[in-house]
Amino acid sequence: MIELSCGSASYRLNVSAPDDFPRLPEIKDEATFKVDREAFLDTAARVSRAASRDESRPVLTGILVQFEKGENETSRKLTMAATDSYRLAVRETTLKGETPELEAIVPARAIAEIARIPSSGSELELAIHENHTIFLAGKTMLTTRRIDGQFPNHRQLHPETFAHTVKLPRVEFLEVVRRAAVMAQRTSPIRLRFEDGSLTVSAQTQDVGEVHETLPVAFSSEPFEIGFNAEFLREGIESVIGDEVELNLNGPLNPGLLRAEGDSFWYLIMPIRLAG
């Protein structure tokens, strides 16, 4: 029992035995390794939006974290991927120093918590055990259970070739999509119609309204129209860094891929079948 008193107030709180508290995993120095904190968190931030929030499929609520060999002996490659089965975000980052070759599916919410932990250092310590992943930031330790399961093979899902590659000014395209998304409510898609020299972005929701807005683009093939979830498309454009965004397409029924030249991030998004 704990007794608390302050002035005329008095409280009695029941307590539990310390042995009932879940045991934290032990940290062995030889099992930990260090990574650049900013690089790790930036990589996670670029892909985390694509992680699922549906707890019925636990694997998709996590971020796949892979440490692999780099292009030379002194570098390592960090790859993170996240998907909710409707979109897939992947980012590769080159790291300096030694890291073991391993991978784990880490809850996206746990990685988001790391960014909130204040730290004066530039490094983040990790320890990946059989059932847990441990993060050490300064004097703070965050422990999370690893997610069991088979994460989709993101490399196999990346299309090898594209029929159409359209380059757009990222900020202008993003603003058009944001405005059109206001009319793409409930299950209504946002439509992208490509014609000779132009892209028309449109959306319509019954009882709400409709919008059409046109951008000039370098497109000179047969006209076609493709539909996407407005929120997923907006978040994909927001995740791309650069003045120009590249939209790669293979037709109205195949996934589209967003990326920027020179960036190791790519975002695959499934289309919505359009009526008519």
Buried b (16+ CB within 10 A) or exposed e, 4-29: eeeeeeeeeeeeeeeeeeeeebeeee
Spatial separation of the C-alpha atoms in residues 90 and 76, rounded to whole Å: 17
Question: Would you state the pLDDT for residue 29?
Answer: 65
* Domains observed in the chain: 29-153 (3.10.150.10), 158-269 (3.10.150.10)
The DSSP H or E segment spanning 199 is strand 198-205
Q: What is the pLDDT of residues 213-266, one digit of tens each?
A: 999 999 999 999 999 999 999 999 999 999 999 999 999 999 999 999 999 999
Please give the model's pTM, rounded to 2 decimal places. 0.90
Q: What is the pLDDT of residues 94-111, one digit of tens each?
A: 998 888 999 999 999 999
Question: Would you state the pLDDT for residue 169?
Answer: 97
Strand boundaries in 70-131, DSSP class E: 75-83, 87-96, 102-107, 123-128
